[in-house]
Amino acid sequence: MGELRTAGERPPWEGLDGTDRHAACVVAARAGDRRALDVLIADLTPLVWHVARGHGLDRSTAEDVVQTVWLALLRHLDRLAEPRALAGWLVVTTRREAQRTWTPSRREAALNDELAEQLESEYGLPEDAALVDDRDHRLWRAFGRLSQKCQELLRLTVLAGRAEYRAVAEALSMPRGSIGPTRGRCLTTLRAHLDAEGGSR
């Protein structure tokens, strides 16, 4: 059985990062190692959640989408052509499922907490609790003025980090080398929009 390992044997994904780690987990999961699935879920659920929430889904609907996406992966695990492209596959699948469940009434959903916290750290926005609501409203308005491409790129790269640029590039059909520069331009535009909304005051 793939789940049985001798004492002290290192799992194949140990010490690996990013797409290499995920590919090793996919191969191990195909061989029956349930721990590999646990690692994938722990590593990549934040990404799936982020994409779902980024499409304006409320928390409950996003949770349903996340569950549906993981079930879809389990069904397609043996048919996943390129294990190293797992993160990109998850992004595309989550996007499709989120769009399927999206309704106009959800468009006004607030910017998800995870993205807000990350963007706030980029700009050093004030942490005074009394300013949180006003700050988040301004940040959401500024973010909403970005192009759809910039919004999605920032959601994915703010969460996934440089190690996942390959997956982000695949998911957005962009050259990997253009992710960083494009992200920088999007952040500059966001900063300008945020300043127009009143900056960090």
Phi-psi region of 199 (alpha: psi -120 to 50; beta: other; left: phi over 0): left
**Is the pLDDT confidence value at 6 over 50?**
no
**Is the pLDDT confidence value at 114 over 50?**
no
Q: Which domains does the chain have, with CATH numbers?
A: 10-107 (1.10.1740.10), 128-200 (1.10.10.10)
**pTM of the complete model:** 0.61
Give dist(CA 124, CA 193) in Å, integer: 16
Per-residue pLDDT tens for 43-87? 888 888 888 887 778 788 889 999 999 999 999 898 888 888 888
Per-residue pLDDT tens for 10-40? 888 888 888 888 899 999 999 989 999 999 9
* Owner of token pair 């995870």: 114
For 52, residues 6+ apart whose C-beta sits below 8 A from its C-beta are 61, 62, 65, 66, 69, 94, 97, 98
Mean of the per-residue pLDDT values for the chain? 77
Query: Pick the residue with more confidence: 87 or 165?
Result: 87
C-beta of residue 159 within 8 angstroms of C-beta of residue 115 = yes
pLDDT value, residue 9: 74
**Is the pLDDT confidence value at 155 over 60?**
yes
pLDDT value, residue 71: 93
Give dist(CA 51, CA 90) in Å, integer: 9
